[in-house]
Amino acid sequence: METNDENREDRDVERIPDELFRRRKGNKWEKLLKPGVILILLVWGSVLLAKTISSLERCKNDGKSSDSGYRLPNSSYTEDGSLKVSLRNVRNGTFVPKLQSLQWISTPDSYVSDKGLFFTVSNETHVVRSVFDEGFSQVLFEGNSFKFEGQSYKIDLLVTSPDLTRLLIRTETVSNWRHSTFGSYFVYNNATSQFDKIGDNLSLAIWSPNSLDIAYVQDNDIYIYSCKDRRTVRRVTEDGSSQVFNGRPDWVYEEEVLEDDKALWWSPKGDYFAFYKIDETAVGEFVIPYYVQSDEDVYSQLRSIKYPKSGTPNPKVGLWIYELKDNYAYSVDIGYDEKDPESPILVTEVTWVDESKLITKTTDRSSDTLTVFFVNVSRRNSEPVRKTSSEGGWWEITHNTLYVPQNESSGRLSEGYVDVMPINGYNHLVYFSPANATEPIVLTEGNWEVVNGPAAFDYEMNIVYFLGTKKSSTERHLYAVNLAEPKNVIEVTDTSKNGVYDASFSAGGRFVLITYKGPRVPYQKIVDLRSLKTDKVVTGNVIGKTLYYLEKNQNLKEELRKYAVPSKKFQQLNLGPDDNGDDVVVNSYEILPNDFNETKKDYYPVFFYAYGGPNSQQVLQNFAVGFNEVIASQLDAIVVVVDGRGTGFKGTHFRSLVRDRLGDYEARDQISAAAQYGAKSYVDAEKISLFGWSYGGYLTLKTLEKDAGKHFKYGMSVAPVTDWRFYDSVYTERYMHTPQENPKGYEMSSVANVTAIAHAKRFLLMHGTGDDNVHFQNSLKFLDLLDLHSVENYDVQIFPDSDHSIRYHNANTIIYDKLLSWTRLAYTGQFID
């Protein structure tokens, strides 16, 4: 439906009467032709009336002549002739900035002599370089493939040993779950140019700090490969099976706890390693049918996955230590209650804090209480050193605890670690020294938050670097604090300008790859933080000397000059008083369409996009041109994103309100924002929609339920949870406790009142049948409720065998085509009530 063609049809309808009634005076045939003219006029009048009625009906349906006067804009150009953002140029990467990553290398002397070594690939040459010494270059391998015993292998992953003498290479990689893979692993000796094969179908292989040993996992058992002996020398475990995982996570630990494919950690010198033993025998099994894997299949393929749903048995996880010298493995006492096997603890993090000491964190299954154990490996004992309640919130799982070694010359009299803890309701850095200390030294404080935890430590200068929200919760700046000067926070990036930064540090913490991610076009630079010189012109960093730019994205800047990209306006919305009478102030941004005209009355549709999950964030000032900009450009819609209560980086109280009642406050805040936008003179309050995926899909349905058609007229829900009993235990119980403990909360949080959703004009539901994360079961149960209550104001799109990302067999193209076209139909009034 192109606007130009539609307007041309309207003009033709208007032109016909002028041509019919055009007559010249004094025509001698006038009297003779008058009856014929009348007849013609009657016929044409009937045709015109029919066409006019049809045109009016069509205009009523497509919105061009509705009360608001809304018309679909020109899809290609703005009024001044600039190119518009389209789904096509978003898909082809027109607006994607080029960003590079450095594989920093930690050598045995990195902590005392940081040369800024990193691994890179240039013209198919794998080489180690130094950001400090431009002349340093050590070629490790030439090419992207190799031959072994007459067979050619493509290199998928290459990891250098700490001493740079050998390479660990993965080939024939097969993806498993979100983070995990299987593959064949080889060792390449730089000195001899010789390959040795470790094995096939390995799920993990990790260098020891000694550069000689490799711990690997095959068929869920751990083995030791010796580069010195050029063979596997030990089998560490023998109970690995489809139910018992050694050194690698099962599904729920990979997805929700470790967020990684490894559950094995070497000690600093390689004399020991710690690993998880995960027994999921008691975990319930969920079967997923696959329908379109092969053209030859006439029956569905059934794949089962051990998936602990809320309130059902979790996997039993134990922490084990392996001592290489004695070839001995033993289980660490971390408080597991054998008398309560249905409710095992969660083992969330392991950090070595010396060659023979480590700390490990555990929580109860609902993340109410955090317990930190100090483990003395040489003595083979453990003790709980602190136990802390979440005080009505929950303990988020972290992975950034940072080991700080002893160094008396730098004032560090004992080994210790830097962690994150709530300080007066906000997440901040704390320092524990010695490592078994029960009380911390508070390093940062204030009504702002440290993001993720410590980013790096300069072992020589005693400085901890971190990203924080000190300036604004919608920004990320790099800061520093010295262990000897707690609470004296120094800015590293320029806080006088809005910015979102990321940082990747060299092994010794001296050099940093600073990535500026927005709001303007991203760039990357390498900075020497210990330099006595500083930059003459401040661009990003206010501390340190810029050595060079890794990426400026000049091509993207040039390309953007051709386009009129709708800009984001970041703002704080006051949604009115809460239950206690205090104002609810939330972060938000809006994208106004091209050629926006605020004098128009009841004209613009509003497209809300939401995620809204606990401790999440969408309102962040990074650079991005994506589907939201497409909606604004192609549909002349105002796009609004609101991070309501429950989202992160605004303190413990703001996010913990949603505990035990997911979907309540989050939906209220979306509705309050919709009410504000619906009251604007230039907004058509009958064309307010909400779109979300995953938790956002859940929030979309929950908001439609609570709103009952009052403000949100349309909704698009992709891969939603509809009943929290169906989702995994680790995520759900962190925010809801178990269904047994909180039955009323689960009942209220489910999407159940479908007759209320029926008051919306229409909604769209989409899901992949192969979703191993949010099972298709959620949407099927919801559809059954719709049938039972005779609700029919919806459309459904199913994607065979697609997982949670919905990409299988061109599905990702189709889903965004459908979202755009469905929204266009909604805004042009083409859905029949």
Q: What are the catalytic residues?
A: 694, 771, 804
In the chain, DSSP finds a helix count (H) and a strand count (E) of: 14, 44
Q: In what order do the strands lie in the sheet with 125-130?
A: 103-104, 117-122, 125-130, 137-142
What six digits make up the tokens of 355? Answer: 């060659």
What gap in Å lies between CA 97 and CA 559, rounded to an integer?
11
Strand ranges in 327-415 using DSSP code E only, listed in sequence order: 328-331, 346-354, 357-363, 369-376, 381-389, 402-404
What six digits make up the tokens of 274? Answer: 């710690």
What gap in Å lies between CA 486 and CA 481, rounded to an integer?
7
- Which residue from 418, 113, 116, 377 is spatially nearest to 268, judged by alpha carbons? 377
Q: Outline where 181-269 has alpha helix (H).
A: 251-252
Alpha-carbon separation of residue 695 from 614, 665, 703, 718 (angstroms): 9, 14, 12, 9
Q: Outline where 63-127 has alpha helix (H).
A: 87-91
CB 345 within 8 A of CB 365: yes
Which residue type, as a one-letter code, is found at position 529? Answer: L
Helix (H) or strand (E) holding 158: strand 157-160
What six digits make up the tokens of 451? Answer: 């993001």
What gap in Å lies between CA 749 and CA 759, rounded to an integer?
19
Residue with tokens 């971190």: 466
What gap in Å lies between CA 554 and CA 523, rounded to an integer?
9
What gap in Å lies between CA 611 and CA 717, rounded to an integer?
11
Q: Any long-range contacts for 360-363 (C-beta under 8 Å, 24+ apart)?
A: 360/274, 360/319, 360/332, 360/334, 361/398, 361/401, 362/334, 362/335, 363/395
Q: Which residues lie below 8 Å from residue 258, measured CB to CB, with a gap of 6+?
A: 249, 399
What secondary structure, in 3-state letters, does 508-528 show?
CCCEEEEEEEECCCCEEEEEE
Residue 463 three-state SS = strand
What gap in Å lies between CA 577 and CA 584, rounded to an integer?
6
What gap in Å lies between CA 643 and CA 652, rounded to an integer?
15
The size of the chain, in residues, is: 833
What six digits make up the tokens of 509? Answer: 């913490």
What DSSP assignment string belongs to 785-825? HHHHTT---EEEEEETT--TT--GGGHHHHHHHHHHHHHHH
What gap in Å lies between CA 256 and CA 178, rounded to an integer?
11
Strand ranges in 563-680 using DSSP code E only, listed in sequence order: 568-577, 583-591, 604-609, 638-643
What gap in Å lies between CA 708 and CA 695, rounded to an integer?
20
CB 715 within 8 A of CB 707: no
Alpha-carbon separation of residue 534 from 464, 509, 510, 541 (angstroms): 20, 18, 14, 9
CB 623 within 8 A of CB 522: yes
Largest CA distance in the chain: 122
